[in-house]
Structure 1
Amino acid sequence: MQFVCNRKELEKKVQIVTRIIPSRSTKDSLSSILIRTEMPDKLYLYATNIEMNIETMITCKTDESQSFLVSARLFKDIIDSLTSESIIGILEDKTFTIKAGETEYHIPTQNLLDFPLPEEFLPEREIFMKSEILKSAIRKVSPFVDKSNIRPVLSGIFIESRGDEVRLVATDANRLAVKKIHIEDIGSSVILPALSLETFTSADLDEDIVIDFSNSKVRLRSKDITLVTSIIDGNFPQYERVIPSEFVSTIRLDKEMLRESIKRILPISKEEDYAVKFSIKKEKLILSSRSPIGIVFDELSVETEGDEIDVFFSANYITEFLSVGEGIVTIRISGEKDPALFTFDSDPDFIYVTMPMEAE
């Protein structure tokens, strides 16, 4: 069997597929990519980590329909190292040959019998939505899931059905992000692994995508990518309880102004768990930090309303919020020890909540 395809297209699809492959696994087969050709012009890449599986397709020229298994890491490293316009792949016996210009690799294939193939997916309902709506929502909330995996439900994104709207919610127990999107009713709420949604939305998607729901899985589909993920079992925290509704002070300022100010505070604050003191005065905000290596103050002219107050925030938590939006930021303070609410004027359907740090 032989196929010829565009190197850049293959590299792009390999990067997407390998995102879900675990760096360490007790099963060698989960560290592999299934390559499948379909005459006359299709090449499929498939990978799984049991919790989810993904298949992408690229256009190629092939003289035979065939399937074989190779090491995902080795295949990715090889493709990433090449610079030619096209790549030729040849399967002969148990050896896969990769040709690119004057470069030629010969790598062994692996036993297909050990590889977990996908189970049949039987959808109970489906919805259609614009891919850019999903991409934008995932970009807003995915940075705030729990990366520790101690509590599986917090490592996922809660997709909550609210009738005329759907909410995407993420929290790591220290901060909370909620993004509302207006699409057709999904029927019931689910928690999906953040990795599955990040991987799918990292691809070049059609303008319209399809999301299929079954009892225990969700399938996301576009023209040349399909991802199936398990639904995370468990109950998502009652997040609305921590969203404040009463405030003692409000600040409005440009995102870049705040980001640059925090950047100036970091050389000192990084010595004290990145704690930054927000001192809200009339028409100004003073950011400061003190640590054994020094003291820093940075004064900004801002719009203010309400009481003067001092509150400590994590510099990292603020800069991560600033990275997901643009324009004017509004910060509403509930108290020195109470949750604060952050929003962008440019996106009224997105909110971010974080707890203040303990005072020094």
Structure 2
Amino acid sequence: MKFSIERAALLDAVSQAQAVVERRNTIPILANVLMKADGDGVSFKATDLDIEVIDTAVAQVEQAGGTTVSAVLFHEIVRKLPDGALVQLREDQAQGRLEVTAGRSHFSLATLDEQDFPVMASSDYAANFSCKGSVLRRLFDKTRFAISTEETRYYLNGVYMHVAETGDGQMLRAVATDGHRLARVDAPLPKDAEGMPGVIVPRKTVDQVRKLLSDDDAEIAVSVSETKIRFATPAITLTSKVIDGTFPDYARVIPSGNTREMKVDAADFAKAVDRVATVSSERSRAVKLSLDEDRLTLSVNAPDSGAAEEELAVAYSDEKLEIGFNAKYLQEIAAQVDRENAVFLFNDAGDPTLMREGDDQSAIYVVMPMRV
């Protein structure tokens, strides 16, 4: 194998691939990236046995072939090469080395046989459809903060992506919850997605897919089966196993009878919560919301460190209410609001609270209260 490639193109391709690689591996080959040169391009493949990513780049190929090299080490070398450099790569099969040359820099890296690189089993996909990058990004960005990190409830360790029946017809829906807060976001159902099975996309996959979605107008090809999901752009293909479990009936925890409505500027609210929470203990991080006629008082009382209070002007015309929340949860939910106003719908101090973005019903959030 022998080829030349621009440093910028090489860095882009290797960055996407090496991000999948786990830093600690009991199987040496999983620490490597598989590169294959053929025709007028080169592909870079990496896997952790759950996710596989393949990135392609244009290159001047003098001799076709393939080998594997440490993904993290190779990425670091390419990252530190000067901008605009032309990188030449040549496999020395006799020595088991990859020779990397750029200008006056030369590296000789240990390789492992490409035949040992694992191949992810293929899948028959039940649904194949295209979706704009901006749509997928919104679905994942507005839900991933609520993904659970508890390994015991593994079925909550991802975003549940499925087709939902609504009053406006079928929608593509993403849901995440950790039992304390919940995020549910809808998007118009793409053509040919009707037969898509509901799948739980793992947190790591969600994070990796986000890197594919930098171009809002790009069309992302999505393929879904009962066990796998694949996202593809012209240059990158990411295939992932989905979580083997049943997502809980989330509809049961979304309150429908909350009538006490508060409208507040989302940015002002998030900043005020952050300020008053400064004095609270890290363990509880509880903030009390006291609601009266068009006025919200945020307060924290931490016996060990002090107290804080701040008033905000809000639109509220219901009965007085005092309710407590985890400050971090309030901030994360408020951060999802793209519009000026956040609308909170309360019932009682012990009941879950609903939040939406202005009059937009396509994204709703639920947060459980705390005792304060």
Task: Tell me the secondary structure at the aligned position of residue 146 of structure 1.
Answer: coil
The aligned runs of 1:1-360 (5 Å cut-off) are 1-40=1-40, 42-86=41-85, 87-93=87-93, 94-163=96-165, 164-184=170-190, 185-203=194-212, 204=214, 207-271=218-282, 273-291=284-302, 292-326=304-338, 327-345=340-358, 347-359=360-372
Q: Deviations over 1:310-343 (max 9, x none)?
A: 1111111111122333221111112212111111
Letter in 1 for 2:258: F
Q: Which runs of 5+ in 1 are unaligned?
A: none
Equivalents in 2 of 1:178, 1:235: separation in Å? 17
Letter in 2 for 1:27: I
Letter in 2 for 1:250: E
Q: Deviations over 1:89-142 (max 9, x none)?
A: 222222112233332222111233432123334334312222221111111111
Residues 100/328 of structure 1: CA separation in 2 closer, same or farther (3 Å cut)? farther
Instruction: Report deviation, 1:63.
Output: 1.1
Task: Tell me the secondary structure at the aligned position of residue 325 of structure 2.
Answer: strand
Equivalents in 1 of 2:305, 2:344: separation in Å? 29
Task: Tell me the secondary structure at the aligned position of residue 117 of structure 1.
Answer: coil
1:159 and 1:166 in contact (8 A); partners too: yes
Equivalents in 2 of 1:49, 1:106: separation in Å? 25
Equivalents in 2 of 1:270, 1:98: separation in Å? 52
2:49 and 2:120 in contact (8 A); partners too: no
Instruction: Report deviation, 1:172.
Output: 1.2
Q: TM-score, normalized by length of structure 1? A: 0.93
Task: Tell me the secondary structure at the aligned position of residue 152 of structure 2.
Answer: coil
Q: Deviations over 1:39-95 (max 9, x none)?
A: 22x121111111121111122222122111111221222223233313332222221
- What count of residue pairs does the alignment treat as equivalent? 358
Letter in 2 for 1:106: S
Instruction: Report deviation, 1:347.
Output: 4.4
Instruction: Report deviation, 1:248.
Output: 4.8
Task: Tell me the secondary structure at the aligned position of residue 112 of structure 2.
Answer: coil
Equivalents in 1 of 2:13, 2:353: separation in Å? 41
1:84 and 1:100 in contact (8 A); partners too: no
Bigger mean CA deviation after superposition, 239-248 or 187-196: 187-196
Bigger mean CA deviation after superposition, 23-32 or 331-340: 23-32
Instruction: Report deviation, 1:271.
Output: 4.4
Q: Which runs of 5+ in 2 are unaligned?
A: none
Task: Tell me the secondary structure at the aligned position of residue 248 of structure 2.
Answer: coil
Residues 209/286 of structure 1: CA separation in 2 closer, same or farther (3 Å cut)? same
Residues 248/299 of structure 1: CA separation in 2 closer, same or farther (3 Å cut)? same
Task: Tell me the secondary structure at the aligned position of residue 288 of structure 1.
Answer: strand
Task: Tell me the secondary structure at the aligned position of residue 256 of structure 1.
Answer: helix
RMSD: 2.0
Instruction: Report deviation, 1:272.
Output: 5.1
State the 4+ residue runs in structure 1 displaced beyond 4 angstroms: none
Equivalents in 1 of 2:186, 2:296: separation in Å? 30
Q: TM-score, normalized by length of structure 2? A: 0.90
Residues 323/97 of structure 1: CA separation in 2 closer, same or farther (3 Å cut)? farther
Task: Tell me the secondary structure at the aligned position of residue 316 of structure 2.
Answer: strand
2:126 and 2:197 in contact (8 A); partners too: no
Task: Tell me the secondary structure at the aligned position of residue 10 of structure 1.
Answer: helix
Q: Deviations over 1:146-172 (max 9, x none)?
A: 123322211111112225112101111
Equivalents in 2 of 1:286, 1:2: separation in Å? 67
